[in-house]
Amino acid sequence: MSYIYLRVLRHVDHTVFCVDKGQKYYWDSQFQQKVPYSSGQQVKRSILTEIVDQLNVNPSPTTFVFDIGSKNELGEGEVLSVCDPRYPDQLLGGWMRAISGGEQRTIKRRSPLSISALRPLHPTLAGYSTENITFDRSDRPGLHKVRVYKKVNNARVEVPEDELKQFLEGTDRSLTRKWIPDNARTSGLFVYDVAIDLRTLFCVSTNQFEPELDEETIQKLKDSGWKESDNVFGPCLVCPEDVRKEIIPALSKALLNWRITSNQARTFSLMETLAVAISDNANKVASAIRTKLVGDSEQPKAKPIIDESLDGVNIFVTLPCAGYVVTQNESADALERAENKLIELMSQFDFENQVTVNEQN
């Protein structure tokens, strides 16, 4: 087995995944409606954050580069990672270091975790709504300050109180209440998929034609106990066994228990996990947690299905799932058993002797 495939079903209740420009969505052309989602990048970042939290370590440092231009303006430069797999978030999340000018070789490692967006199990099983909200302090107008400015000879000048009162005459405008229009929220049943490439999970290539590491870092890893080996991609360095034993449980827990940390406090949702499907076959995890259209052809409805009878796939159903999907064997320890299954599958892979094992098979 070279891959582990994971599908997770969650319930989302009146929340927002990102606050930059409101709730993100795409248009579903078949069912003609907005479909809210959280990007795979946001899910990945949330998983990596949970991993370093579980391990109680700092994430890898990042260097932000800026250039001062000819007009004394601050221009955007590169964002450089340390490209060091001794940091768990680098080992699992991958990296890319590209220096402008082409004087240094680009170093990049593809993450062994392929992560989908968090999106509805079916377009009709998620809602997208908007509402107008206010930032309101009008109950105590004497406590809060109001400042109004106008342009005078290209200068920003504060308007005196007497002039401001005259300006407001004949209007019904409040100065201690801010309207925030079209705030989007989403609810429903959402899924995300993860593919774990066991061949590269704890192995970093030492090939210098398409380098993942520079020679200085390679030597540092060898000095830290990383073992020279080979996988199907060529020569590599393998993470020490004691480090793997620390990372695997943290990764297993993070894949199931991550949370979005960038959404708004006033729209917090538990986003509880309802079901988990684990297999070495991507098609089977898609079959295990799926939907079926029922009703007439003009207005069909999607029925969520948790199929616990499939061979070659492990299904774990939590207690809250029974409130949204017809289930057979929900249990209080479903997530713990799912974590243990992931730990078992990752631990039994022979990271240090991949080529030998493949040749024998």
* Domain boundaries along the sequence of the chain: 3-60+77-128+186-360, 133-182
How many residues are there in the chain?
361
Contact 275, 9 (CB under 8 A): yes
307 or 73, greater pLDDT? 307
Q: What is the pLDDT of residues 233-268, one digit of tens each?
A: 999 999 999 999 999 999 999 999 998 876 666 678
Residue type, 324: Y
Place of tokens 């210098």: 208
- Give tens-digit pLDDT for 276-293: 999 999 999 999 999 999
Q: Output the CA–CA distances (angstroms, integers) from residue 256 to 105, 157, 181, 339, in the order listed.
A: 37, 54, 34, 8
Core vs surface per residue 15-35: b (16+ CB within 10 A) or e: bbbbeeeebbbeeeeeeeebb
The total of other beta-carbon atoms located within 10 Å of residue 211's CB is 19
Q: pLDDT averaged over the chain?
A: 88
- The residue with greater pLDDT, 257 or 299, is 257
Question: 185-194: b or e for each residue (b if 16 or more CB lie within 10 Å)?
Answer: bbbbbbbbbb
pLDDT, average across residues 300-328: 93
> Which residue matches tokens 């959402």?
190
| Element holding 43 (H helix, E strand) | helix 40-55
Interacting residues of 45 by C-beta distance below 8 A, sequence separation 6+: none
Distance CA 38, CA 314 (A): 26
Each residue of 80-124: pLDDT tens digit? 888 999 999 999 999 988 776 666 788 899 999 999 999 999 999
Both structure tokens of 88: 């768990």
How far is the C-alpha of 39 from the C-alpha of 246, rounded, in Å? 28
First to last CA, the chain: 11
What are the φ/ψ torsions at residue 123 (nearest 5 degrees)? -55, -30
In this prediction, residue 20 carries a pLDDT of 59
